[in-house]
Amino acid sequence: MKTTIHAAILALMISGAAMAAEDPGISVSRPGDTPQTQGSAQLFSGEVLVGQLFRGTAPATISGGVVSFNASARTAWHTHPLGQTLYVISGNGRVQQWGKPVQEMKTGDIVLIPPGVKHWHGASATSAMSHLAFAEQLDGKVVTWMELVSDAQYLSEPSPK
C-alpha cells in the first residue's frame, strides 16, 4: 500500500513538474522590448509605425499592439472577424465605417468596431495619433485587408458629435 501511495505521489510530482515546464508564468515587458516596424504601403497611407505588443497563446486568441500615425496617415479599409477595440493614447484621429460619415477621435476615446464591419482609422490631417489596438483571431485570421482609403474618403467632412 505504501509503495502505491509513493508511486502516486511521484506521478503527481512528475506531472506537476511537466505542467510547470509548460506554464510560462507571468511575463513582464518593458517599453522598448517590442520593436516597431514601418507600416506597409499596401496596408497604410503615410508614415505609420506598428508595434505588436502581445499575442495570446492558445486557448487565448487576443492580440494587441500600438500603432502610431503621422498627421494624415491611415490604414487601408479592412475588417476583423471578431471585431476590434481601439484606445486612443495620444493625438487626434479619424475613423470611418463603410457607407457612413467619418468620425473624429481624440486622446482617451475608446472605439468599438463590430465583427465584419469594413472600416479604416488613422490620424487627423493636422495631428499625429497613436492607439492601442486589440482584436481576436477566428480560424487563425485577425484581419482582412482591402483597398487603400482615397484622399476624398479621408478628407470627407466628419459627422457632428
Query: Is the residue at 18 inside a domain?
Result: no
Query: Is the residue at 14 inside a domain?
Result: no
H or E stretch including 8?
Answer: helix 2-22
Query: Is the residue at 161 inside a domain?
Result: no
The confidence score (pLDDT) of residue 31 equals 77
Q: pLDDT of 2-56, one tens digit each?
A: 443 333 333 333 333 333 446 678 888 887 788 899 999 999 999 999 999 988 8
Containing domain of residue 68, as a range?
A: 35-154
The confidence score (pLDDT) of residue 21 equals 45
Structural domains counted in the chain: 1
Query: Is the residue at 23 inside a domain?
Result: no
Cβ contact 13:117 at 8 Å: no
The confidence score (pLDDT) of residue 117 equals 98
Residue 112, C-alpha cell as written in the block? 468599438
CATH code of the domain covering residue 81 = 2.60.120.10
Instruction: State the chain's mean pLDDT as an integer.
Output: 86
